Structure 1
Amino acid sequence: MLTAHYASSRFGQLHYVECGEGEPVLLLHQTPRSWTEYRDVLPLVGATHRAIAMDTVGYGASAKPADDQSIEMFADGVEDLVAGLGLESFHLVGHHTGGVIAVEVAARLGSRVRSLVLSATPFITPEKRARAAWKRPVDWVQPKPDGSHLMELWNRRRHFYKPGQEAALNRFMADAVRVLDRAEDGHIAVRLFAMDERLPRITAPATVICGQDDDPSMPSFEPMVNALSATGHIVPGAGVPFPEQRPEEFARLVLDAVASAGAADR
């Protein structure tokens, strides 16, 4: 059973949903999503572990501070949730923006992060940061009185979903419309993140995964694997919405990484 909760933080209330008992596995979503990205993954991981999916600060039902968004601010929210839940150690999973946040959290918390799974996580170099201001918007659309901006947003994302996956695209739309005025901020935060300074500080055993059809993320796969000396998996038939398209495969890879970390500890 999925249960929804709130925890206090320096930003206000943080919303999270959890399932199961045992070793905690914390899952971080992409921009501009919410915990619903992991709706079908949670019960699979929760069958053997305490699976927790939080709404990043500024998204979903979590507090929405007026400050400029940054990966560091998102990571502050994760740290506050971890402290509020009393998690001494945990396994960490991030998809797209969530993976970049996970990099910062793992760099900060060291051995408290027992394993790290980075899914379709952008590999941000100094050259990419220098070009950040010239990147076109990913999800921001200009609101129009006739509501046609909603169709524009739908069409901008539609090609990532296969026929029959409209329910997942509906969930994306609900999340995006909820933060429409700041839908692009998370993407900007990713492009400005000094990832090259943080990756060397990570000590957790890392697994890097990516859907083969995730064209924006595939170029980052090998650089991330090499930077972390990570185990890598490319999954056919999965794209940008990997956790929703292939929840069983996503959960299996997460649980394999968790089990591998546990075996290394013994």
Structure 2
Amino acid sequence: MISTIPAFEHAKTSVNGLRLHHVTSGSGRPVVLLHGWPQTWYEWRHVMAGLAEHHRPIAIDLPGFGDSDIPHRPGEAAVMPDDLLGLIDALELDSVDLVGHDLGALVAFAFARLHPHRVRTLTLADAPLPVLGVEHPQWANMQHALWWQSFHKVPDVPEALIAGREKLYLGWFFSQHSADPSAIGPTDITEYVRAYAGPGRLRASFAFGRSRDELTERLRREATPTLTMPTVVLGGAHSMGDLMAAAQGLGDDITHEVVPDSGHYIPEETPSWLTARLTEFFNRPPTCLRSS
């Protein structure tokens, strides 16, 4: 585990029978950061360094990822928002600025609809939102291009084919879906491979996709119909870009922006741009945002 970045505090907190690894820096109003696949908390390292001057960024390894415990339970996607709630409670946070990328954006989206009073602002970055019911005519082509989502849902086969080839497999995603592949260098890929090559880690990383229909059904039963908090939706100019605008109908205060010069991995490809945009969003006039 990379733990030598100055001013980053690593900890594990017990939640729902799991120890969840999280990394904290700075002080002030809490900002919870949720990573995507195939990444961990580590994807937020640059953004955390920028936010820490005025905020308290908390980057979480989602259950089964990074250095968090691997759950052994059915319906993983449907219960992951409960783990996030448990961690926020354990850290004694009232409401948070919640930021999610890729898979983490799906978790953040679900959490914000299930527990809107705990989310001060919501930021969703480059996520395939149709899997949670946000549709747009052009998404069909995009989802066809996301072939690995269907591949990862096949029981046992992906783990068997990828095991021992994690560097080749994960490296392909970073090289193919970054506008500037050098933004995620060899040291970074080594850290991600370490996190995904451990016993049971590949299987755990596929659990969300294999059970996401159960989360969709839970949202239909339990969640608020729209997002009630101020929300920013981001798409990389060389990735999901304008397609993320499909989320604008999910609430009354949703802003869509295209991130210039970025592919899919926005927090690592354009960390300065993202840090500045998040800081601006978090500091909107108090009349526009609920108090924390």
Q: How does the TM-score come out when normalised to structure 2?
A: 0.78
User: CA offset at residue 68 of structure 1?
Assistant: 3.1
Report the aligned-residue RMSD.
3.0
Gaps of 5+ in 1: none
Q: For residues 77 and 250 of structure 2, what CA distance do their matches in structure 1 show?
A: 19
Structure 1 partner of 2:151: 136
Query: Against the structure 1 CA distance between its residues 60 and 256, is the aligned structure 2 distance closer, same or farther, given a 3 Å change threshold?
Result: same
1:255 aligns with 2:279: yes
Report if aligned partners of 1:24, 1:90 keep a CA contact under 8 Å in 2: yes
Structure 2 partner of 1:96: 102
Q: For residues 128 and 23 of structure 2, what CA distance do their matches in structure 1 show?
A: 25
Percent identity at matched positions? 23
Q: For residues 253 and 24 of structure 1, what CA distance do their matches in structure 2 show?
A: 16
1:112 aligns with 2:118: yes
Q: For residues 78 and 148 of structure 1, what CA distance do their matches in structure 2 show?
A: 31
Q: For residues 207 and 156 of structure 1, what CA distance do their matches in structure 2 show?
A: 25
User: CA offset at residue 163 of structure 1?
Assistant: 4.3
Structure 2 partner of 1:51: 57
Helix, strand or coil: the match of 1:256? helix
User: CA offset at residue 42 of structure 1?
Assistant: 0.7
Counterpart selection for 1:228 from 247, 251, 264:
251
Query: Against the structure 1 CA distance between its residues 2 and 232, is the aligned structure 2 distance closer, same or farther, given a 3 Å change threshold?
Result: same
Q: For residues 149 and 110 of structure 1, what CA distance do their matches in structure 2 show?
A: 37
Q: For residues 88 and 202 of structure 1, what CA distance do their matches in structure 2 show?
A: 18
Q: For residues 190 and 120 of structure 1, what CA distance do their matches in structure 2 show?
A: 18
How many correspondences in the alignment?
A: 261
* CA deviation profile, 1:205-249 (whole Å, cap 9, x unmatched): 1110111112xx346402112323411110121112110111111
Counterpart selection for 1:202 from 227, 230, 237:
227
Report if aligned partners of 1:100, 1:190 keep a CA contact under 8 Å in 2: no
Helix, strand or coil: the match of 1:102? helix
Task: Give the letter aligned to residue 135 of structure 1.
Answer: S
User: CA offset at residue 144 of structure 1?
Assistant: 7.2
Helix, strand or coil: the match of 1:68? coil
Helix, strand or coil: the match of 1:47? coil
Gaps of 5+ in 2: 1-6
* CA deviation profile, 1:23-62 (whole Å, cap 9, x unmatched): 1110111124211010111111111011100111111111
* CA deviation profile, 1:83-128 (whole Å, cap 9, x unmatched): 1000011111100111111111111222321100111122223889
Q: For residues 152 and 234 of structure 2, what CA distance do their matches in structure 1 show?
A: 25
